[in-house]
Amino acid sequence: MKLTHVYLASQVASLLALTLAGCTVTDHQTPQTSALLTNQSATPALVKKMRGFEGLDVYSLVSSDDKLTQSPNFVFGGSADGMGLLKNNDGSFTMLVNNEDNFAVSRLTLDPTFKPVKGEYLLNSDGAQWRLCSATLATPEEHGFGPLFLTCGESGEDSRIHAVNPYGDPSTAGVTKEKPALGRQSAENALPLPKTAYAGKTLILIGDDDSGTYGGQVILYVGNSVGDLDNGSYYFLRRKDLNQKETALKVGEVHDIEFVKIENHAALTGLQLNQKADELSAVKFGRVEDADYRKGGGANGREVYFTVTGQNNTGVNADYSRSKYGRVYKLVLDETNPLKGKLQLILDGDDRSGIAKTFQNPDNILVTNNYAYIQEDPNGYNDETHDAYIYQYNLTNGELKAVFELDHRRNQPDAARYNVGGLSKLGSWESSGLIDISDVIGVPNTFVFGVQGHTWTGDAYKGVDGGSKRLSENQASQLLVIKGLPR
């Protein structure tokens, strides 16, 4: 579960480029680069290219089995999720990665050739306290504030959102960086809109990955000054007609929505916030996950896409009022008033004869100028037909294609390493945190994402974050570089 942003720290303003929620602004000049894209890891690339995408180059960047030269005792954590990339003035790179089930944020240093050479933890399980999924790197150039790595707690309705300094001191990894004004929710991502969307304000869209009685919410935080993460207001999305049922939303329909304010929100528990949302008729989605806005500047910054991963149609969803197999929505905010907008369902996995009929619970999303890239996290219904896909959705013509399928290596000589305890179930792994790094490293159409191989476990990966709360966590993961994927 997850996503992500990129920042280029340069002395020449015309070379500044960044990636937000896993996506890159593309109207900057591409800088000169010394990055050399090649396999840097001992771990093979755990993906298969789908038909039509055979020409993509895939490189294994780093994994939990690698020993980095400047920090030989560092072990990259499991369940790699939301991430952000920065280019430093000396030509090196700094990458932040959520290690979801470690409850940790790792910081990798890559040399100018893009080879990982050092690793450390900026936030460990004592400081993070909750599972960390997607993330967004806010920057002055794009958002007007930062750099700050906004990473979300997703361990139930009382979780918080952290704001982590990407250049912070790892000796404070056990100290919380939570922001109470961003509320309590089981959040997947906190997405700040670009500073051009609404001048003089800070707007952060939050996805609530809740499958309980009150469902998942789409939340909007509004700070009345740029960079205000402490004194803003907190709103829930609802339809103008007050219909709370998610499955009442149909493909092709456009609905008027508004965001309704929750008073004194920072003092409320997660349960109290959920109850307020219900009282005010907020839409009850089946686990709101990741969100990203369209790149290209101008009005595109107010065009937001978000995923709903879905939940089984049992228990609180026995009435099938929420998505089961997952959905993708388009939200267009009003030009002058961010509390109003239009909501449209564009991909419906519950229509098993429609364009998204193969959906097995979309989780993360990255949006560029022309495409949305959607990553699956199958919910384990035992009706899975494939291992997790990464899809490409064309924003212009609505075409949906599968780009990658995760490779569990069930039939390889090293199968036992990645399928501990027996062959993994179909769809039991997920990918996460896809980001566009093209402008940062100076190589067009280049991306990074993480593979969460949930059956890739072992004592060597146990409790590696340095905190005390996840000592038995023993998953491994890897990061992959993709070259040739269009933006």
The two tokens of residue 228 are 């205000």
H or E segment and range at residue 274: helix 270-279
Phi-psi category of residue 456: left, alpha or beta, with phi > 0 → left and psi -120 to 50 → alpha: beta
| Sign (positive or negative) of CA dihedral 367, 330, 250, 350 | positive
Neighbouring-strand partners of residue 95:
85, 108
Neighbours of 135 (CB within 10 A): 32
pLDDT in tens, 209-234: 999 999 999 999 999 999 999 999 99
Query: What is the value of pTM for the model shown?
Result: 0.93
Q: How many CB atoms lie within 10 A of CB 380?
A: 14
Place 307 in a pLDDT band, splitting at 50, 70 and 90: very high
Q: Which CATH number applies to 5-483?
A: 2.120.10.30
- Determine the average pLDDT of the residues in 358-383: 97
pLDDT in tens, 133-169: 999 999 898 899 999 999 999 999 999 999 999 999 9
The percent of residues in the chain predicted with pLDDT above 90, rounded, is 91
Interatomic CA distance for residues 207 and 186, integer angstroms = 8
13-31 mean pLDDT: 36
Q: Judge whether residue 4 has pLDDT over 70.
A: no
Q: What is the pLDDT of residue 356?
A: 98
Alpha carbon separation from 260 to 158, 216, 255, 257 (Å, rounded): 20, 15, 16, 10
Q: What are the structure tokens assigned to 301, written together?
A: 């910054």
Domain extents in the chain: 5-483
Residue 142 has a pLDDT of 87
3-state secondary structure 324-337: CCCEEEEEEECCCC
The residue ranking higher by pLDDT, 422 or 16, is 422
pLDDT of residue 1: 52
Tell me: the pLDDT tens digits for 30-71? 446 688 999 999 999 999 999 999 999 999 999 999 999 999
pLDDT in tens, 62-116: 999 999 999 999 999 999 999 999 999 999 999 999 999 999 999 999 999 999 9
What's the chain's average pLDDT?
93
pLDDT over threshold 70, residue 15: no
**What pLDDT score does 141 carry?**
86
- Amino acid present at 360: Q
